[in-house]
Structures are given as C-alpha cells and as structure tokens.
C-alpha cells in the first residue's frame, strides 16, 4: 500500500505568477497506522519534488527579496526552508513538518511574497492568507514578514481578536495582498462582508496541530471552503496527528511532504530537568528561580494561578507580568514588548505563550505546573534554544505527578536530569541561576498605552476573543 501522502517527483509544470490552475479536489487516500502518539507514520527519508536549496541566492525569487535577506544577514536557508522553498516557489502544495523555531515563517512567507510581487490589491479581496492559532503567533508572523513585504510592495493586514475590528475592516476595504489572521476574527470579517476569499491563490495553515487542538477545525474548514479549489495550500506543523491529517486529505492536492528534524524531542542544545518538590516548597522554589538574573518564562495551568503568581513575585521584588487569554490584546502586546526589552524579567503564562513567542537569548523555561500532553511540553520548551542557541527546561513535579511525568517524557523521547526531593539551593542555582528575591515590592505598568486604550470598545459591549 502506498503512503497516504505522495512524496515523489512531480511532472507538473511551473504555474503562472498567480499560481492559478484548475485541479480536482484531492481524493481520500488510504491510512497508515500511527505510532503511540497517535501520529501517522511518515517516511524517514523524503525525496522532494525539487532538490533542496543551498542558498537563498540560488532560489527563483525577486531580487528585492534576496537583497532584504542579505540585509538581515541571511544567506543560507534553514533545513525546512531549504527543503520547502524550491517546491512552494514552483506552486506546489506543501506539507511541512519541523520543530518550533526552525524558520517555518520564512519557509512559507518568501514563497507567498514572491507570488505577490508586482500584483495589484483589490478592496476586500486578498490574494493570500495565513492562518495562525493565537494572536501572538499571527502578530509575530506579520512582523517577521513586514520588511520582506515592504521590499516587494506587498500590502499586508493582521486581523486578530481583541483589537478594534473596524480598523481591520478599513484596512481590508483599502485593499491588501496578504492577510495574516486568527480563524475566528477572519470569519467575523467574512460574515460582515469585509473580506471575500474568492481571489485567494495561496492559503497557509501555520501551527496546524495547535489550531485543531484549540477547537478551530470548524472555522478553518469554513475558511478553506471559500478559497478557490485551484489555489495553492501549504500546511506547516510541528506534529502531524489525526486532526491535521483530516485537513491534509480534504484540502491539499498531491502535496510534497518535507519532514525535517524528525525526532519529536527537543534539539540537542536544550537540556531538560525534572525537580521533585513538595507542595510546601513549590512556590518558594519557583520564586527563587524567577528572581534569577536574566529572563524566564514560567507556565501554569490556569489564568487565576498565573495572576496570583505574578502578584506574589511582584510583592517579593521580581519584575513579573502575567500573560493569558483573559487579558486584552493591547495588554498582552505590551507585556510581550516589556519582556523582550527586559523591563519584565519573569513572564508568567498559560499555554497561550507556548507558541508564537520568540525572544532572542531566552535560555530558561520553567513548568511550575507540568503539562498533561507531551506536545504542550515540547512547545513550551521550544521558547528557548531557538535558532541554534542553548537553553534549559525545568519542570517542578509534585509526588503525585511523578508517574505521569515519566510517561510524558517517554512520549516526548526525552531523558531528563532529575533532582530528587530536598533539592539544595546550590543545585537549583547551578541549573537555573536561582537566587533569593530582594523582597522589596516592585511595580510593572501592564496597562495598555493611552493611544490603545482609546480604541477599546465602549463599556457594555463585549467583543469575542479569538
């Protein structure tokens, strides 16, 4: 039986600049059995339709994109970029699997922008869309592509929940080539008639596995059904589970599969530590880690727990700030900016920060509450050790959580270093840089700046969160 995703070479000729072509809807393909994690088996070695690129200069892209890459100091593609760009630039549907932080944004973004170079944008009718599961990831994608889009005269719009919808609608009415969106907000704009997808030639799903895990399947399906059937689709994900497979079978036609860095475990420059703690010492251990010199992201399970921990740390002299779905988008954006600048050193977050956040030089992630799913663990840890840098992931584990944590690490294919009960201050300092907090209360201004506060909805109106 053949593999459900075709990976051989293609005889399809290079399409026109608009990548438009008539094609049948992809037929259902036979399944193959999944492994213990519920993922479908992918071939260990993939033969791409076109050879991998050795340099950006060798790719068939507008000269302006190449000049911008050079100005950014980028000459050699990452592994996922080298594998996918020759095929996506040729108009092929692409199914790309690679770990977080591997350069997926440029892997699809450069192909999109190359196809939009020199085109005219129509009001309400974008020619390309990128769907992302969280506001933070959508904004990061848009920010990452902005200098490249500007170099080829491509107008972009970011549409996410928690921000004034009338501004986003106005941008679409003025005409944009590329829309980067969360599924819920894009559906809102489509229902209002402010965004029509009948001219979309390229659609990208970024972090598709998280999109399905968060319950966005109905919105994603509704959006893709509005995209012309002869358009190009690219799907990028760190994992390919059964929900993602459903999207692939329904919407991708003869995709070229590129699965690089096949190990689900984290990169070799990342170290993993499990710290056994008692309920009585857990908060104290977390506080000492948060007081370290340097930044840290700390994860907890609930919004309430995040708020309480942030308040506790501020009262003890740690520059901490909360990040979760209960905060407004201007607040979340401001908090992230403060963290990236170093005005906040401890970012206390729910899983909303597990993807879509890139901070240069971040070398520590702490799970105060261990995740229950190995994919969540990997994505939380993926905030550190990005782009070849090193980093540590530390998980605080209570006695009743030890067995579940052992199973989770096994599924993630990770062998952590374990610090047993009664961990010493010296051990904790060696691994995390932990130290005693000053104990002098501090204040971090986390409200939105005045120009953003004026844009909030009038009191009494409730905007849906996406």
Same-domain status, 228 and 299 = no
Count up the domains in the chain and report the number: 2
Q: What is the CATH number of the domain that holds 111?
A: 3.40.50.300
Q: What is the rounded distance in angstroms from the CA atom of residue 463 to the CA atom of residue 449?
A: 20
**pLDDT at position 274, please?**
93
Enter the DSSP assignment of 353.
Answer: G
Continuous segment of H or E residues that includes residue 105? helix 104-116
Instruction: Assess if residue 215 is contained within a domain.
Output: yes
| Of 205, 229, 259, the domain-final residue | 259
Do 154 and 253 sit in the same domain of this protein? Answer: yes
pLDDT value of position 455: 37
Are 337 and 301 members of one domain?
Answer: yes
Q: What is the spatial distance between Cα 152 and Cα 175, in angstroms, rounded to a whole number?
A: 16
**Domain hosting residue 73, numbered range:** 63-259
pTM of the predicted protein model = 0.67
User: What residue ranges in 144-277 does DSSP mark as E strands?
Assistant: 156-159, 178-181, 202-206, 232-237, 256-259, 270-276
At residue 418, does pLDDT exceed 70? yes
User: Which of 221, 237, 259 is a domain's end point?
Assistant: 259
pLDDT at residue number 385: 55
pLDDT higher than 50, residue 47: no
pLDDT computed for residue 99 by the predictor: 67
Q: What is the mean pLDDT of residues 50-72?
A: 91
CA torsion, points 291, 294, 299, 302, in degrees to nearest 10? 60
Question: What's the DSSP call for residue 367?
Answer: E
Is 453 within a domain?
Answer: no
For residues 238-260, average pLDDT: 82
- Checking if the pLDDT of 61 tops 90, the result is yes
Does 133 lie in the same domain as 72? yes
**Confidence label for 222 from pLDDT (cuts 50, 70 and 90):** very high
Give the residue from 197, 227, 259 where a domain finishes: 259
pLDDT of residue 446: 52
Q: Are 247 and 168 found together in one domain? A: yes
CA atoms within 13 A on the CB side of 356: 29
């Amino acid at each position: 039986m053949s593999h459900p995703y075709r990976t051989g070479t293609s005889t399809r000729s290079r399409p026109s600049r608009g990548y438009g072509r008539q094609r049948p809807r992809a037929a259902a393909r036979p399944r193959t059995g999944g492994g213990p994690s519920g993922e479908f088996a992918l071939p260990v070695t993939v033969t791409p339709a076109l050879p991998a690129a050795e340099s950006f200069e060798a790719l068939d892209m507008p000269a302006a994109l190449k000049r911008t890459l050079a100005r950014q100091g980028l000459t050699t593609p990452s592994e996922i970029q080298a594998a996918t760009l020759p095929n996506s630039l040729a108009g092929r549907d692409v199914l790309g699997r690679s770990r977080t932080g591997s350069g997926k944004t440029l892997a699809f973004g450069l192909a999109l922008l190359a196809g939009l170079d020199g085109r005219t944008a129509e009001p309400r009718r974008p020619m390309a869309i990128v769907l992302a599961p969280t506001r933070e990831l959508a904004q990061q994608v848009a920010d990452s592509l902005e200098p490249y889009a500007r170099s080829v005269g491509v107008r972009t719009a970011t549409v996410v929940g928690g921000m004034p919808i009338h501004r986003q609608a106005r941008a679409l009415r003025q005409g944009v080539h590329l829309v980067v969106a969360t599924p819920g907000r894009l559906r809102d704009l489509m229902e209002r008639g402010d965004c029509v997808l009948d001219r979309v030639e390229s659609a990208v799903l970024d972090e598709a596995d998280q999109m399905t895990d968060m319950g966005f399947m109905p919105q994603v399906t509704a959006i893709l059904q509005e995209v012309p059937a002869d358009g190009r689709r690219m799907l990028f994900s760190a994992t390919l589970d059964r929900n993602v497979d459903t999207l692939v079978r329904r919407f991708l036609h003869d995709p070229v599969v590129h699965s690089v860095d096949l190990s689900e475990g984290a990169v070799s420059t990342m170290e993993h530590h499990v710290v056994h703690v008692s309920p009585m010492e857990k908060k104290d251990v977390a506080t000492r880690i948060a007081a370290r010199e340097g930044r840290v992201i700390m994860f907890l399970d609930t919004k309430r727990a995040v708020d309480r921990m942030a308040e506790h740390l501020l009262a003890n002299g740690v520059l901490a700030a909360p990040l979760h779905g209960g905060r407004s988008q201007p607040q979340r954006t401001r908090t992230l900016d403060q963290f990236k600048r170093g005005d906040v050193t401890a970012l206390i977050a729910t899983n909303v920060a597990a993807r879509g956040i890139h901070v240069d030089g971040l070398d520590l992630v702490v799970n105060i509450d261990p995740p229950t799913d190995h994919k969540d663990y990997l994505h939380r840890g993926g905030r550190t050790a990005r782009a070849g840098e090193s980093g540590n992931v530390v998980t605080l584990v209570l006695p009743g959580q030890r067995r579940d944590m052992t199973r989770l690490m096994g599924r993630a294919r990770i062998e952590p270093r374990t610090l047993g009960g009664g961990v010493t201050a010296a051990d904790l300092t060696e691994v995390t840089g932990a130290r005693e907090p000053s104990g002098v209360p501090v204040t971090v201004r986390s409200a939105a700046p005045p120009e953003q506060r004026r844009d909030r909805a009038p009191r009494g109106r409730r905007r849906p969160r996406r």
